[in-house]
Structures are given as C-alpha cells and as structure tokens.
Chain A
Amino acid sequence: MQFLGFKRSEGRSGVRNHVLVLPTCGCASETARIVANQVQGTVNVIINTGCADVEANTDLTQRVLTGFALNPNVFGVVIIGLGCETVGHTELRQKIQKETSKPVCSFGIQEEGGTLKTAAKAVSAARELVSQASMQQRQWCDVSELLLGLECGGSDATSGLAANPALGLCCDRLIDEGASTMLSETIEFIGAEHILAKRAANKEVHDQIIGICKAYEEHLASAGQNCRAGQPTPGNKEGGLSTLEEKSLGCIKKGGSRPIVEVLQEAMRPSRQGSVIMDTPGYDIASITSMVAGGCQLVAFTTGRGTPTGIALAPVLKITGNRETYQHMLDNMDTDVSGIIGGEYSLEDGAHRTYDDILSVCNGMLTKAEAFGFSDVCIDHVCRFV
C-alpha cells in the first residue's frame, strides 16, 4: 500500500504539511495562539508546563516539544518563548535543529518587548514558512513510513465487540504491509496485561509490558489512589463496563495480534518497525499528545460513547461500533462499524472500512476533529509544580 504524503529530508513522510507555532511554556502559549491566528496554514498548541517543574516533568515537556517539532506532519516551526522559563527558545531551537534540517526559528517575548512586537516578527516568519510549505506537493510514499497511533476513549461495551477488534484486524493488515502501530494507555492494559505480554517478540518486551503495569499501579498507590477507583470511569460503567479487567480486555483488541517489538517511555520515538507500545496514562488527550510527540502522523481513535478530541498536528479518526452514538454525534464521528454487531457485515468488512478511511485520511481527507480545528494537548505530569 502507498499513500500520498509529504516527503521530509530525514525520517518518515507527513500526512499533513503544517507550520507549527510552538510555545516553550505555558506563559508563551497565548502569544503563540495570536501568531497562529494571523497566518493560515499554521497550527498552534496551548501547553501548561515548561516552568517551575521538577526534573522528570521538565524532561517530559522537552520530549513532547521536540517531538512535536520533529513530527513528520510538521513542515517548519516558529518557536515562541518567554525568557525566564526552564528551557528557553534558543536552547529548544538548537535541540530541535540537532535532529532535523526542517526550518525552525524562534523569538522571545521578554527580549522583543511584549506580545505585539514578538507577534510582528513571528507572523512574518510564519508567513514565509507557510509560503514555502504551500509549494510542496504530495508524493507517493510507502506504507512502511506510516506510524499509526491507537487510542480508545469513552469506551462502552460495543468498543470491545466491534470498533476495537475491527481496528485490531486493520492493524494486522497494516503491519503485514510494513507499517508501524503504537498502542498506549498503560492503565487500560491492567487486567489484560498477561494476554498482551503473550504478543511480546522476546523476554525483555514481555517483562516490560508486565513491569509498566505494575509500576503504574504502584505510582498511583503512592499518591493514595487505587487504580480501580477511577477506572472504569462513570461513563464506562453506564456503557456496560463493570471492572478495569473488562475494560482492558476490550481495549487491547485494538492493537491486533502481531508481535510487540518495543516498549517506549512516554513521548519517545520508536527505534523499531512494527507494533510498539508506549507507556502513557489512560487520559486520552495526554496519551495522544505523547504518541504524536513520538512521531505518529495519524491517530485511530475508537469510542463507544463518542468524543470530540483532536490534536492540531495530526488527524484523529473517530471509529465507533455504537450506531446510536454514530447517529447522535455525527458531528464528531468519522467511521461507523456498528454493522459488525448487527450482523449486517463481518468483522473483516469492518476492518476494511477502517483501513479505507485511514488511507483516505493519510491522502488528505480531513477528519471531523481537524475540520473543527481542535487542538487538545495535555502534557502528562509525574509531580506537583514547584
């Protein structure tokens, strides 16, 4: 399989060609938004970190910010810094430029003398980058360049019966064709981790899968939280999911059945092709943020109850096996596989529909979340702010 993507000088090709206006910290986020609002063809993110953090949080923020800049969907980057944050705009720009030849420029709000003076320069720079990006044509790219993020949220009992197994079959086909997939949301492995671990390509990966589940449960316990207290969520329970095990057994089906070759820390980029796991929270927006920072060009998101979530850098395709939800929330749902449950078509047919929609989105079809311009970002946090 091939898709029409945007070639990059290094690494995978993009399925989008965005100019990213990237803040270094929460305090620069609104100025970044003002810049992006002035230039069509740019996207921006609002972040809540980058300052007054412990080292582990700073490390994760830096991985997310550099990962966003390096994401194949990004043509070029305009960084907006403040001036007193933990990692300033010059340092962040240099870190990014060490890993990519794509155009990156940066400005500091304190240096320039405020939002308007910063915006004046940054808007000019962004306009120039958008002009360059607009000249680039889509070219045929091999499917082996695709890294598909997998997500489920607002799950109900239909998720494990239709949307997740259909996406899982679709993943098997993509992997057999040479693509890579990324499964995340560690908390939603718990209760099914022994089954997931059987897919491990080797002993190391097997024990890493068990290990991240154990560590997640212990981490929450150290904060006085039983992981079964918040999971399943109230919505999951209303949708017919009674325990974390039941939810997890349905969740892992979206990953398919091929060998798992690598377990990644949050917001890290894979070093291997194939089916990989990233250790993230079950909170959809945090998980998607980390997977897109890890290089996913596209996220396939299964849901039972329906959710609008989208991230500006990458298309998020909503797939549901719940017919009522598809019809009731048509504004937010992309792919309907409810016919699997009704017996109107087979699971294989549902997987084909999902595959075809993923391919269309790679080729440029906007998802509902993209058309709305949604830009949800949440950088995970391991400790209180300082």
Chain B
Amino acid sequence: MEIQAIRIDGNDTVATCMQNVQIGDHVTLLSPYQETILCCTAIPAWHKIALVDIKVGDAIYKYGECIGTATEVIEKGGWVSHLNVMGSDRQYDEELWQEAL
C-alpha cells in the first residue's frame, strides 16, 4: 500500500505518516520532496518514519530543529517514537542575548 507522509524541512531526518503504516508499505513524501521509502516496522498514523539510517546518539531533526537523540539504532523506514528518542537538556545560559548577533 502507498502511504503519504509529511517532511516539514529539508534537513529533517523524519517525516510524519498520514495513516497507519504496515511493514512493506511504500511511504511517499508529499511535495516538494517526492521520495518514496520502504517501511520496515509498523507505524501508527501521525507517528514518525526515519528517512535515513540512525545510529545511537544521532540527533533527530523535525521542523529543521533537533527534537532529541536516538537511544537505539533506527533503520531507514523504521518507527521513530518516544521509545527510541530522548529529549536533550537545554543550555539556557548560552542562549542569552548576544550583543554581537
């Protein structure tokens, strides 16, 4: 079956699936990306599919921003969820106003 998914930013390493996905389904990214990925795990609707092979400790990108790091190896076409991604601590002091910027 062919399922559509939304990649928000060109740097994103995940896309959001618009329906439930089964193993072996083809997931096609909506315009302007057009790439099709073979799904290797079942993924619930509105959950994320990996667009690249992800190693433990790799940053995961959505909205063009880091949403956390992988705690497990995630294959391209696999399910990216709270079970294999962990949020990161913030560095608030480094985020304060920089006069030079």
Contact = CB atoms under 8 A, between A and B. Distances in A.
A249 B87 contact: no
B47 interface: yes
Interface in B74-95: 80-82, 85-88, 90, 92-93, 95
Contacts of A193: 90, 92, 95
A43 B49 CA distance: 48
A245 B14 CA distance: 14
Contacts of B46: 156-158, 239-240, 304, 322
Contacts, number: 84
A156 B45 CA distance: 11
B96 A207 contact: yes
Contacts of A244: 87
Task: Name which of B80, B85, B93, B95 has the most chain A CB atoms within 10 A of its CB.
Answer: B95
Nearest to A157: B46
B83 to A, nearest CB: 8
A237 B84 CA distance: 12
B44 A240 contact: yes
**B: contact size bracket:** 20 to 34
Given A193-B95, A203-B97, A237-B82, A245 B88 contact: yes
A341 interface: yes
Interface string A240-281: 111111100110000000000000000000000000000000
A243 B87 contact: yes
A191 B67 contact: yes
Interface in B19-55: 30, 44-48
A181 B86 CA distance: 32
Interface in A171-206: 190-195, 197, 203, 206
Contact of B30 (A210, A304, A343): A343
Contact of B16 (A192, A197, A213, A240): A240
A246 B88 CA distance: 11
B68 A161 contact: no
Given A197-B95, A214-B92, A246-B62, A191 B87 contact: yes
Contacts of B87: 191, 228, 243-245
A157 B18 CA distance: 10
A197 B93 CA distance: 13
A238 B92 CA distance: 29
B82 A157 contact: no
Contact of A246 (B45, B67, B93): B67
Interface string A82-101: 00000000000000000000
Contact of B96 (A161, A210, A228): A210
B65 interface: yes
A210 B80 CA distance: 29
Contacts of A203: 97
A253 B80 CA distance: 22
Contact of A242 (B45, B85, B90, B93): B85
A245 B65 contact: yes
**Interchain residue pairs A-B with the least CB separation, the first 5:** A243-B87, A157-B46, A246-B67, A243-B68, A214-B92
Given A246-B62, A249-B63, A343-B30, 6 more contacts: A161-B8, A206-B96, A207-B96, A242-B85, A249-B62, A304-B46
